[in-house]
Structure 1
Amino acid sequence: MHSSTAERHARFRLLRERSPVHFDADIGGWCITRYDDVLRVLDLDSGAPQPLPKRAITHALKLTRPVITLATLELLDADDVTFAHSLAATAAEAFTLAHGVEAFAATALETTRAFLTNALAALQEHPDQATLLRTDPSTTRDAVEELLRFDTPIPVAPARRTPVPVVLSGRTVEAGEVLVPLVAAANRCSVRFPGGDRLDLRRKPVGVLSACPTSTALARVTGEIALVKRLRAVAR
């Protein structure tokens, strides 16, 4: 695992264990790291664009799939960085055109690019898991969900402000305070995901959290289409 990623998750683990509702003076708000707490905070209004309805996302993804497939095949000989960045750009553009809502364009690009970059790095660092995915495509959906959980592409969701006092992990945060949901920390919470610091593509994780469900839907489908093809091309 890249040192910066490993260090980030080491800090997250320390916060989950010792100070799950932690005030950070530099950001002027409370960092929230445990799964149940983050889930509760995500229900608060952040002021960001609301996720698209599931029907709209499904329709947009249906139109986008052929574009992602073609781009994947065209990029198989590229290096990992070019593959991730170019495929993400193509997927985000097609997705934005399909649903016609510009509000998610930048986030769709950022999320998909980060997911592909993180996933390829994790698979390179865990060759046994890469072999599993390459040789058993039936694991693809669970594998993509596990990769989203293991190294969440957008680690911090937009901050929320408490409309009323809220109790998180036994601490009362007063109304008007800023809450920063660290979704990447929550996705490794061992209470929700036992052995959360371990990558296990057979895990079948349920309830993986994301900073933006709309853009994560695009990242998920892109991974389902592209990762096995990429692994098989590299193995040739």
Structure 2
Amino acid sequence: MHSSTAERHARFRLLRERSPVHFDADIGGWCITRYDDVLTVLGIDSGDPEPLPKRAIARAVKLARPVITLSTLEMLDADDAAFTQSVAATAAEAFTLAHGVEAFAATALATTQAFLSNALRALHDHPHQAELLRTTPELAKDAAEELLRFDTPIPIAPARRTPHPVVLSGRTVEAGEVLVPFVAAANRCSVRFPGGDRLDLRRRPVGVLAACPTSAALARATGEIALVRRLRAAAR
């Protein structure tokens, strides 16, 4: 595993175990790392644009899929950086045009590019899992979800301010405090995902959290389309 990623998750694990609701003076707020707590915090309004309705997201993803497939095929001979950048940009543009809401364009691009980059690195670091996906393409959907969980593209969601006192891991945080949801830490919480530090493309994780559900939906679909093709091209 990439050293900075491993170090980050080691810190997250330490916080989950010893100080899951941790006050950080530098950010002036509470770092939240356990799954149930992060889920609670994500339910507090952040002031950002509301996610699109699930039906609208599904429709936009459906319309974008053929464009993503074509971009993937066109970029198969490129290096990982160019492949990731080009496919993500095409996916984000097609998705934005399909749902007609510009508010998510930049987030869709950032999330999808980071997801593809993280996923390719994780598969490189876990060659047996990469071989499993290459030879078992029917795992593509579950694999994309597991890769989204394993190394979340946007690790920290926008901070929230508590509208009223909230209890997180037994600690009461008073109204008006800043809460910072560490989504990447929550997605490796062993209570929700046993063996969460292990990449397992057969896991079929349920309830994977994302900083922005709208852009995460595009990242999932792009990974499902692009990763198997990329692995097979690399094996030629």
The interval holding the TM-score normalised by the smaller chain is over 0.9
Q: Determine the structure 2 residue equivalent to 1:111.
A: 111
Is 1:77–2:115 an aligned residue pair?
no
Is 1:204–2:204 an aligned residue pair?
yes
AA partner of residue 68 (structure 1): I
Q: Determine the structure 1 residue equivalent to 2:235.
A: 235
In 1, distance between residues paired with 2:109 and 2:7? 25
SS at match of 1:39: helix
By how many angstroms is 1:138 displaced? 1.2
Identity %: 83
In 2, distance between residues paired with 1:107 and 1:143? 22
By how many angstroms is 1:62 displaced? 1.3
Q: Determine the structure 2 residue equivalent to 1:225.
A: 225
Which one is further off, 28-37 or 56-65?
Answer: 56-65
SS at match of 1:175: coil
Q: Determine the structure 2 residue equivalent to 1:195.
A: 195
User: Runs (4+) of structure 1 moved beyond 2 Å?
Assistant: none
Q: Determine the structure 1 residue equivalent to 2:156.
A: 156
Which one is further off, 54-63 or 66-75?
Answer: 54-63
Please show how residues 56-67 of structure 1 align to structure 2 within 5 Å. Answer: 56-67=56-67
In 2, distance between residues paired with 1:137 and 1:63? 22
Deviations 1:104-160 (A, max 9, x none): 000000000000000000000000000000000111111110000000000000110
Q: TM-score of the superposition, structure 1-length normalised?
A: 0.99
Is 1:183–2:201 an aligned residue pair?
no
SS at match of 1:172: strand
Q: TM-score of the superposition, structure 2-length normalised?
A: 0.99
Q: CA RMSD in A?
A: 0.5
In 2, distance between residues paired with 1:127 and 1:63? 32
Q: Determine the structure 2 residue equivalent to 1:123.
A: 123
Deviations 1:162-192 (A, max 9, x none): 0110110011100000000000000000000
Q: Determine the structure 1 residue equivalent to 2:132.
A: 132
In 2, distance between residues paired with 1:33 and 1:97? 35
By how many angstroms is 1:194 displaced? 0.4
In 2, distance between residues paired with 1:87 and 1:119? 14
AA partner of residue 234 (structure 1): A
Is 1:12–2:21 an aligned residue pair?
no
By how many angstroms is 1:55 displaced? 1.2
By how many angstroms is 1:103 displaced? 0.4
In 2, distance between residues paired with 1:214 and 1:75? 25
SS at match of 1:22: strand
Unmatched 5+ stretches in structure 1: none
Q: Determine the structure 2 residue equivalent to 1:36.
A: 36
AA partner of residue 4 (structure 1): S
Q: Determine the structure 1 residue equivalent to 2:95.
A: 95
Which one is further off, 182-191 or 137-146?
Answer: 137-146
Q: Determine the structure 1 residue equivalent to 2:23.
A: 23
In 2, distance between residues paired with 1:141 and 1:94? 20
In 1, distance between residues paired with 2:187 and 2:18? 17
Unmatched 5+ stretches in structure 2: none
In 2, distance between residues paired with 1:162 and 1:30? 11
